[in-house]
Amino acid sequence: MKPEPGDIVKVRTKDETYEGILMPRPEIFEKGYVIIKLDNGYNIGVDEKRISRIELVSKYHMPSAPEKKITPKKNLPNVSILSFGGTISSKVDYKTGGVYAAYSADDFVQMVPELGNIANLKAEQVMKLMSEDMVPEHWKAMAESIANELNKEEVAGVVVTHGTDTLHFSTAAMSFFLKNLNKPVVFTASQRSIDRGSSDAFSNLLCAVNAAANFDGAAVVTCLHGTTDDNYCTLNRGTKVRKLHSSRRDAFRPINELPLAKVFEDGKIEVLNNDYSKRSAGKVEVDNKFESKTALVYVYPGMENEVLDYYIKNKFKGIVIAATGLGHVAGLGMQETYPKHSLYKKIKELNEGKIAVVITTQTLYGRVHPYVYTNLRKLSMELNCIFAEDMLPETAYVKLGWVLGHVPKIEEVKKMMLTNYAGEITERSDARGFLY
């Protein structure tokens, strides 16, 4: 019998044998390769020219449907899980290669039975996106759907499942878009897919549901592995968190402050930084105006200042610059020697075009400072750039879009950018947070 996608096969070459699930070849993948998913979860492509034989080990079995419905328990809090995509929210059907379903609440409980002892769950798939495909329009809809759940009296908190890549952009957006936040909004994700033994999805989910049910804060937070082991997760503020590793399970770290709390799988919550608002009884409002003509630009030695012409020509309203060190860009002294690299000159044009320029630092840790060097003073005073304290570049980008959605004039933009709305600016960065 000829093996089909989904079947377990042995692919033999002259020197090696690979055993795994035969995968369908995605359209975009080069022809002439056989793709199989190995036991460790990784997919490999084997050049057809090298293959001597493909043997069928066993036929594909359709994943079974959830066996039983879970009945809600009266004494447990209710938690809503909203899924937006990413690895954690998807199941792959190896027959078709497609993502065939979002997890239902029952699926989640079947996967992690302990969840049923923490909360009564309701799950809804709102979107099915890899997070790199998200745009601000998605954040607007995300805020609506989260607020809808938060405003249900019986709901204790919301868990959001999401891809990891742009998770910190979404948490920043929700931090600004959800006004008068009343309950925890806990974003979780997984770095390793659910079909791998080392998946972090189970532990992250368990801790996230715990936090949504029992954390006393009304805050947008991330809840993912605190270490490489499965011992606890950390709750990090949505405006102060960043993905700092492409694959480690403990990739999400707080920047310039301590995590708000550690959450253990058994439900224990250990507060480390109590600088957050507490739960309240009010209703959440959605304030999701966002100026799409907002950009984030990372500067580098050798950058030609014409790059910024694009934003001028296309009538952008604001740009966040991820500058070097304390907030430098190249430079005053270069106007004569290397004029095409002088960003200073171009920022002057942005300035004249009434485009708001916000300065953050690529170092992530620490804060920008407009008064240490002459160049910085000029940027700040002559060119009216907004030095965004210790705000992360990504957070500053989301915030600038949100601010520009509300006020157009540079002076008003400056005032709002320097007002702390969601813990995005700390007066003094906590040194203990460095490389936490």
Q: Let me know if 324 is a catalytic residue.
A: no
Token digits of residue 322: 């991820």
Is residue 418 near ligand GLU by the rule CB under 6 A? no
Q: Let me know if 165 is a catalytic residue.
A: yes
Question: How far apart (Å, rounded) are the C-alpha atoms in residues 382 and 344?
Answer: 11
The window from 15-23, 157-165, 198-206, 350-358 that contacts ligand GLU (CB under 6 A) reads 157-165
> Quick one: 145 or 214, whose CB is closer to ligand GLU?
145
> Quick one: 164 or 288, whose CB is closer to ligand GLU?
164
Q: Let me know if 275 is a catalytic residue.
A: no
> Quick one: 88 or 410, whose CB is closer to ligand GLU?
88
Taking the complex as a whole, the smallest distance from the CB of residue 40 to ligand GLU amounts, in Å, to: 17
Taking the complex as a whole, the smallest distance from the CB of residue 248 to ligand GLU amounts, in Å, to: 12
Residue span 79-118 as binding mask against ligand GLU, x where in contact by CB under 6 A, dash where not: ------xxxx------------------------------
Query: Is residue 212 within 8 Å of residue 184, measured between CB atoms?
Result: yes
Q: Show Cβ contacts of residue 27 under 8 Å, excluding neighbours closer than 6 positions.
A: none
> Quick one: 224 or 385, whose CB is closer to ligand GLU?
224
SS3 for the chain is: CCCCCCCEEEEEECCCEEEEEEECCCCCCCCCEEEEECCCCCEEEEEHHHEEEEEEEECCCCCCCCCCCCCCCCCCCEEEEEEEECHHHEEECCCCCCEEEECCHHHHHHHCCCHHHHCEEEEEEEEEECHHHCCHHHHHHHHHHHHHHHCCCCEEEEEEECCCCCHHHHHHHHHHHEECCCCCEEEECCCCCCCCCCCCHHHHHHHHHHHHHHCCECCEEEEEECCCCCCEEEEEECCCEEECCCCCCCCEEECCCCCCEEEECCCCEEECCCCCCECCCCCCEECCCCCCCEEEEECCCCCCHHHHHHHHHCCCCEEEEEEECCCECCCCCHHHHCHHHCHHHHHHHHHHCCCEEEEEECCCCCCCCCCCCHHHHHHHHHCCCEECCCCCHHHHHHHHHHHHCCCCCHHHHHHHHCCCCCCCCCCCCCHHHCCC
Chain residue whose CB lies nearest ligand GLU? 163
Taking the complex as a whole, the smallest distance from the CB of residue 200 to ligand GLU amounts, in Å, to: 10
Taking the complex as a whole, the smallest distance from the CB of residue 246 to ligand GLU amounts, in Å, to: 10
The window from 38-46, 160-168, 376-384, 402-410 that contacts ligand GLU (CB under 6 A) reads 160-168
Pick out residues in 19-78 that bind ligand GLU (CB under 6 A): none
The window from 8-16, 35-43, 91-99, 158-166 that contacts ligand GLU (CB under 6 A) reads 158-166
* Bridge partners of residue 233, in order along the sequence: 225, 263
> Quick one: 97 or 331, whose CB is closer to ligand GLU?
97
Pick out residues in 217-246 that bind ligand GLU (CB under 6 A): none
Residue type, 329: V
Taking the complex as a whole, the smallest distance from the CB of residue 299 to ligand GLU amounts, in Å, to: 25
Q: Let me know if 164 is a catalytic residue.
A: yes
Among 21, 189, 413, 417, binds ligand GLU (CB under 6 A): 189
Taking the complex as a whole, the smallest distance from the CB of residue 92 to ligand GLU amounts, in Å, to: 12
Residue span 116-155 as binding mask against ligand GLU, x where in contact by CB under 6 A, dash where not: --------------xxx-----------------------
Number of residues that bind ligand GLU (CB under 6 A): 11
Among 106, 107, 165, 230, binds ligand GLU (CB under 6 A): 165
Taking the complex as a whole, the smallest distance from the CB of residue 429 to ligand GLU amounts, in Å, to: 28
Which spans of this chain sit near ligand GLU (rule: CB under 6 A)?
Answer: 85-88, 130-132, 163-165, 189
Residues with a known catalytic role = 87, 164-165, 243
